[in-house]
Amino acid sequence: MPNRHNGPDREPSGRERQRLLAIVCYPGATCWLCRGEKGPIQWGLRKAHPLGPSMDHVIPRSHGGYWELENLRPAHYGCNSSRGNREPPRYARVRSRHW
Ligand SMILES: [Zn+2]
């Protein structure tokens, strides 16, 4: 039985999450949910600002998706929360592992 605290499906610590966020939402990253229609992802806004940075899971956590770079995409905070656990948009599925 896998150890849920050490496997790739573990929840990252706040520090690890920040590290992943900085990689996924690199400067100039485009939100993969609205494809940049709402503008670039912006750092330095108030917490939970709709245009602020967040990571979206290609495979949602509730469907077994991992906190791994290949399963994370840059998204606006607002776009990410409105997607919830729905399927990703069709256009977004084309690039799965290599992007
Ligand atoms: Zn967006």
Report the DSSP beta bridge partners of residue 33. Answer: none
Predicted TM-score of the model (pTM): 0.75
Q: 6 alpha carbon to ligand 1 midpoint, in Å?
A: 32
- Residue 27 belongs to what domain range? 14-93
**Predicted confidence (pLDDT) per residue in 33-68, tens digit:** 999 999 999 999 998 999 999 999 998 888 888 999
In-domain check, residue 35:
yes
Domain count across the chain: 1
Q: Is 18 exposed, middle or buried (0-12, 13-18, 19+ CB in 10 A)?
A: exposed
In-domain check, residue 9:
no
Report the DSSP beta bridge partners of residue 21. Answer: none
* Structural tokens at position 34: 């609205």
In-domain check, residue 37:
yes
1 pLDDT band (50/70/90 cuts)? Answer: very low
In-domain check, residue 74:
yes
Q: 3 alpha carbon to ligand 1 midpoint, in Å?
A: 35
pLDDT score for 99: 43
- Residue in 36, 4, 25, 34 with CA at minimum distance from that of residue 69: 25
Q: 45 alpha carbon to ligand 1 midpoint, in Å?
A: 15
In-domain check, residue 1:
no
